[in-house]
A and B are shown apart, each in its own frame.
Chain A
Amino acid sequence: MSQSITISNSVPEVNSQVEPCVVQIRHLDYYFGEGELRKQVLFDINLDLPKGQIVIMTGPSGSGKTTLLTLIGALRTVQEGSLQVLGQEIVGLSKPELVEVRRNIGFIFQAHNLFESLTAAQNVEMAIELLEDWGNKRQKAIEMLGQLGLADRVHYKPTALSGGQKQRVAIARALVNQPALILADEPTAALDKKSGREVVTLMQRLAKEHGRTILMVTHDNRILDVADRIITLVDGRLETDENLDQFVTTRDPQTLDRRMFMM
């Protein structure tokens, strides 16, 4: 791993002139609630995600992982600090402007969230239609589903697909517009070991082929090996930021497992 590894809470060197970062976060704080009930959930986050990197974010429940993910995904209004996504500062953007930013990001969720009423191809086409690309949307959708090994399931409705297949359709929907950044929240949580493995391997392959950046929140330590980098969030602070080897060596397998169960 030649990418710069940054230690939490220290501002990394600005290396954007060398290779532009897909995500650049500086001194990000985030609060839930207002007035008396205001509670800080993220504390001074500094993070760079360079192009082509697969980053797994892990940490105990309630540590703010999903909140950070939704902030990067322009799903929430950023309150304090600086957050650049795909070269655009999203602090202070209006809601319609945030929608524009989101169109360049692929989202994968724990639940597949497919429309039961639409076939696999139609679900993927819903994403293509955002670009108003009517001409060859069906062809594009079929191609994408083919890459995920679903060529023979294109016209099936979600009820006729297995859990893993549904999640692959959801991934096809997230990837079909070739977003530079992919955000995944526990994409394997609802899947068995084999399907989960399949899904992340496919994500890894597609990301590497096209130089996509992936930020994945997961509790699933069976899939940690696809990561180039693992960051840990504890109580709203970036605690560790290591590559895979460091991550494994700093934790003996037993603690690793115990930690995972706690989460």
Chain B
Amino acid sequence: MRRTPLAWLNLVHEKTRLLVAIAGVAFAVILVFMNLGFLGSLAKTASQIYSQINAEVFLLSPQSLEISTTKSFPIQRLYQAGGIAGVERVMPLYVGYLQWRNPETRRNRSIFVYGINPDDPVFLLPELDTPENQAALRRFDTALIDRLSRPEFGPQTIGSTTEADRRRITIGGQYSLGGGFTADGTLIMSDQNFRRFFAPFPLNRINLGLVKLQPGVDPNQIAAALRQTLPNDVIVLTRSELIARERTYWISTTSTGFIFGMGVGVSCIVGVVIVYQILYTDISDHMKQYATLKAMGYRSGFLFWTVIQEAVILAVLGYIPGFAISLGLYELTLRATSGSLPIGMEFGRAVQVLLLTIGMCSLSALISVRKVVVADPAEVF
């Protein structure tokens, strides 16, 4: 026979209180998961676009913050990079925001535009290579639209026309990329069209230089070589370095990371308070019994562990529904943003939040347990 599971039986005895406690912990768990989910999707968004770009090394201005806040630099740097052994191809990328008019509501909305040379395989999107899309890219005042753009941009029917920055534009085709946090919708157009829409915009100043390497060449080596060759009006980053840089920008430099971090903190405080209330009430209700146990010869340590056990049980019982509901909410968010906000459960985060929940409940236990530890059995009778 084992020890009587006092902590468990005490919790289960008060069914309503147990349910309230579980709901409270689950609530905190959901809040934490949502905040971490948004934070994680932010980091994922930063990497998402670069994993769709067909290059291993990137050139950008030191003043560029992230892909939608870039400073242009001379295209000569890109041509210089093209001369390095091991480089297969260099491609310029132009980016910027246009005011896209929804043809139905006639409302303008900012859309993010990628300008590329139609002959360059800039994106790893096979659907861009279809003859229709290639032809559309080469037509004047025509662009391809992202299917994952928000519905507020209006219909995406191929061949329909609308206005962008007071200029007629025709939708020539579609692709799926997703704009993440930076954009509600995206367009891809040729560099010639880009120059027209963003006039005056000289094509000899580019926003991002893409360096595609020959197969089997180490990107770190080429990046090092480029850093030596190029003047310091550009910085050279490998794909993973660039992703890390953008992630740091979003999480540390903008208030976004702080906001979600704050969200996690506040959720934890809510959880601590709820669990503290429950444990404190439970201890108060059982004060005489706990004092009797002390009189019988149980040490304070036993009662301490009983309360800690109750806290851990509450943590685990609250975590399970919290986890399940969070999965549902992630799915909901994914659908609401038509997949452009890549929010999803990660194993590491699941474990991290479980530990956080247990820590949170244990903290509540530590605050509430003093009452029972210092209880003097002689005073209770």
Contact = CB atoms under 8 A, between A and B. Distances in A.
B is a partner of A:
yes
Interface of A: 66, 70, 73, 75-76, 96, 99-100, 102-103, 107, 109-111, 113-118, 122, 125-127, 129-130, 134-138, 173, 185
B3 interface: yes
A221 B295 CA distance: 27
Contact of A130 (B289, B297, B377): B297
Contact of B2 (A66, A76, A134): A134
Contacts of A130: 296-298
A103 B297 contact: yes
Interface centre among A109, A117, A134 (most CB of B within 10 A): A117
Contacts of B377: 75
Contact of B288 (A70, A111, A122): A111
Contacts, number: 69
B295 A107 contact: yes
Contact of A134 (B1, B288, B297, B376): B1
A91 to B, nearest CB: 16
Interface of B: 1-4, 6, 9-10, 12-14, 286, 288-289, 291-299, 376-378, 381
A5 to B, nearest CB: 29
Contact of A122 (B9, B12, B286): B9
A122 B2 contact: no
Contacts of A73: 295
Contacts of A66: 381
A126 B290 CA distance: 11
Contacts of B2: 134
Contact of A117 (B13, B378, B381): B13
A102 B295 contact: yes
Given A114-B289, A117-B9, A173-B296, 8 more contacts: A111-B288, A113-B291, A113-B292, A115-B9, A117-B10, A117-B12, A125-B4, A138-B1
A100 B288 contact: no
Contacts of B293: 126
Given A115-B289, A116-B13, A118-B6, A127 B296 contact: yes
Contacts of B381: 66, 70, 109-110, 185
Contact of A109 (B13, B286, B292): B292
24 contacts: A75-B377, A76-B378, A99-B294, A99-B298, A102-B295, A102-B296, A107-B292, A110-B381, A111-B288, A113-B291, A113-B292, A115-B9, A117-B10, A117-B14, A118-B4, A118-B6, A118-B9, A122-B4, A122-B9, A125-B4, A126-B4, A129-B4, A130-B298, A137-B1
Contacts of B299: 96, 99
Identify the 8 closest CB pairs spanning chains A and B, nearest first: A117-B13, A103-B297, A75-B378, A113-B292, A70-B378, A117-B9, A102-B297, A76-B378
A99 B297 contact: yes
Contacts of A185: 381
Contacts of A107: 292, 295-296
Contacts of A96: 299
A111 B13 CA distance: 20
A68 B289 CA distance: 22
Contacts of A122: 4, 9
Contacts of A136: 1
A103 B296 contact: yes
A137 B4 CA distance: 10
Given A100-B297, A113-B288, A126 B6 contact: yes
A115 B285 CA distance: 10
A203 to B, nearest CB: 17
A85 to B, nearest CB: 13
